[in-house]
Every structure is written in C-alpha cells, then in structure tokens.
Amino acid sequence: MPVTLWNTYNVIGLMSGSSMDGLDIVAVTLSYRKTRWSYVIHHAITVPYPQELLESLSHAAGLSGKNLALLHHAYGTWTGNEVNRFIERHHFIPELIASHGHTVFHDPAKHLTFQLGDGNAIAAATGITTVWDFRSLDVAMGGQGAPLVPAGDVLLFEEYSHCINLGGFANLSFDLNGKRIAYDPCPANLAMQHIVRPLGLEFDQDGRLGRKGTVSPDLLEELDTLDFYRIPPPKSLGREWLFAVFYPVLDRFELSAEDKLRTVYEHIARQISVSVKQVKGDKALLTGGGARNTFLVERISSLSPVKIVVPDQTIVDYKEALIFALLGVLRLRNEMNCFASVTGASRDLSTGSIVMLNR
C-alpha cells in the first residue's frame, strides 16, 4: 500500500524505560520544511504502571514462552487503552502511534532483542496505524539494535555537539568525521537503583545521599577497568550485563550506601567525560531521569570539557518518546531512521514494523 508523504504529522510517541517508572506518552506535531524537521509537543504524561502489571514486567524475563506471549499481548492492549484515555482527555487525534515497547531481553551478541508490547494489540485497541519493534531488524542485520535515538539527535537537536541521555543506561551521540557515532558509555539510573532499593527508595533524590558519601578508590578502579570499557563502539548495554558483571562488583564491597553511590556517581561522570572528549564541541544536551540528579549533573559538568545544558523539564523527561514519534514517521516514509555507523549493522535501515489501519 503506497504511503502519502505529508509535511506535517500528528503523532503519539510511547516510551517505557528500563527504570520501569511508567509509560511515557507524548502528543507531538512533527513538521518537515526545507529539508529540516521541527516539533511542537502539545501534551506529555507518564502513566505509572498498576502494581500487578509492574510485578509482571519485573519478572518478565523469567516467564515461560507461553506466559511471555500472553503478557506481550496484555501489555500492548493496556498501552492502547492508555493511549485512548490520553486522546480523549486531550482531544488530540494522531495519524500515527510509535511505540518503543518495554525491553525484556537485549543481548545482540546472541542476536537477541525483545521489546514487550505487541503493536498489533496497540493498533487493535486504538484503531490507529502503529509502528513498533524498532530494534529487531537492526540486530538481524548484525547491529546492536541500540541506541536508536541518534537519528532524532541529528534531525531535531543539531545545535548540540553532543547529546547525552541518562536513563537506566547512559547514551551518548556525536558526529565524528561526518558520521554519527553513538553508544552506551556506562550504566546510569539502574546502577543507583540497585544501591537504594534495599533502603526502600526508588532513587536518590537530587543525589543527596551520594553527596554525603566518599569515593572508594578501590571500587572506582574496579568499575573503571571493567572489560566493557575497552571495547570500541558500536556497543550497547543491557540488564544481562548488569546482573552478570556490574552488580556483583558493587555487592562485593562492604561500603555504606552513601559511599557506593558517591563512587558510582564518580564512575558515571568519568566514563561520560572520557567519551565526550573524543570530539571537540561546545555544548552537550543532557536529558533523561538522571538529569534530575543535581549532584550527578555537577560531577559530569566538572569533568567534561563542554558546557552541559539541561533543557526544560518536558524535554528532559520526554525526549526519547518524542524521538520515537519521529522514528515512526521516518519509517512510515520509508526513510532511514537507524544508522549503521551507530549500531554496527551492515547498512543504514528504515526499521520498525508497521500495522497499517485505515481510519
């Protein structure tokens, strides 16, 4: 079926991060004028997961094949129903939904990536054309399947020499010799969560606990010398690496939570600064949940050679959902939305599965 190439698209972008704080929903108008894309965000919310669904997501990786398939459909249906409520509340009528889904498995070395949330179920619940499953084709073509956000960095945030996102993992992108380079330099929010959850907390508000701590030179050295950091890009991180490599190092050291946090903050800031120094630049855009952590931002700013810019809160919280809205539009237009220079795939791709519905 041929696709009409419009200049303006009303889109809902959906993102579920590895921190599992909820489903990000963004209503955005994307416009293409004179070879450039622009955006206007109309509404953006995060829908917390119901406790039962949160429990299911937390244990998804251990489910049987049948139960994982059932959850895949159920999560897609729940997502579609939340989009319907969002549309009704804000009177925003999209031509397209673009959904990242919720990552359960990501191990590209084994050609494995799986994002929960069946796009067919989303389309069935909403009656709206849906683009989903953005990573699988890239992994099948020999790529990391991540990060995917750099295409949006290039098209929507070109005024920044570097783009950094602090989600469950840190992501970084920049231009090098005329090509976009991007990768995961280190873990981020998931590392902090591992330390504070035994204290009954979900995050370290403003980095207050970590600010009280002292850097452990021994722990910092072990973290900084992990094998992953010697691997050149393209490379990406998943929960599998955290449980197999990173968490065991943290758990082996008998330190206070404050000292572990302080050391992890220093580790993250150091790894990001090493990556940023690969190319000259003037300012870096910093987004994601970690950008709310004022102490971590201070440490990154102190060690990095460029100005760290934290934008308005909507972009901080919803940049990834915004960019997946753009990736969905690019897929609908059959235009490249995934760069081989970023993922290591055998070619640039227009990736994502389309469920095309006529309204």
CA neighbor of 192 nearest in space, from 178, 179, 210, 174: 210
Give mean pLDDT, residues 146-161.
94
How is domain 162-305 classified at the CATH fold level? Nucleotidyltransferase; domain 5 (3.30.420)
Has this prediction a pTM greater than 0.75?
Answer: yes
Share above pLDDT 70 across residues of the chain, in percent, rounded to a whole number: 98
pLDDT of 43 > 90? The answer is: yes
Would you place residue 1 in the very low, low, confident or very high pLDDT band (cuts 50, 70, 90)?
very low
When pLDDT is cut at 50, 70 and 90, the band that residue 17 belongs to is confident
Measured CA to CA, the distance from residue 156 to residue 149 in angstroms comes to: 11
Q: What is the mean pLDDT of residues 38-46?
A: 97
For 75-145, strand residue ranges (E) read 96-107, 112-116, 130-132
Say if strands 162-166 and 169-176 run parallel, antiparallel, or are unpaired: antiparallel
pLDDT tens-digit map of 275-310? 999 999 999 999 999 999 999 999 999 999 999 999
Task: Please tell me the predicted confidence (pLDDT) of residue 234.
Answer: 87
Average pLDDT over residues 95-102: 97
Q: What is the pLDDT of residue 4?
A: 55
Running DSSP on this structure, what letter comes out for residue 324? H
Nearest Cα residue to 36 out of 158, 149, 177: 158
Evaluate whether 8-144+318-355 and 162-305 have a shared fold: yes
The domain locations on the chain are: 8-144+318-355, 162-305
Residue 334's pLDDT is what?
96
pLDDT per residue over 193-228, tens digit each? Answer: 999 999 999 899 999 999 999 999 999 999 999 999
Interatomic CA distance for residues 344 and 330, integer angstroms:
20
Q: Which residues pair with 286 in a beta bridge?
A: 164
Instruction: List the Cα angle 327/333/339 in 5-degree steps.
Output: 45
Angle, CA 130 vertex, CA 129 and CA 131 arms, to 5°: 135
Residue 305's contacts (CB-CB under 8 Å, 6 or more residues apart) are 273, 276, 277, 281
pLDDT at 20: 82
Q: What per-residue confidence (pLDDT) applies to 359?
A: 57
Q: CATH assignment of 8-144+318-355, given 3.30.420.40, 1.10.3720.10, 3.40.50.10320, 3.40.605.10?
A: 3.30.420.40
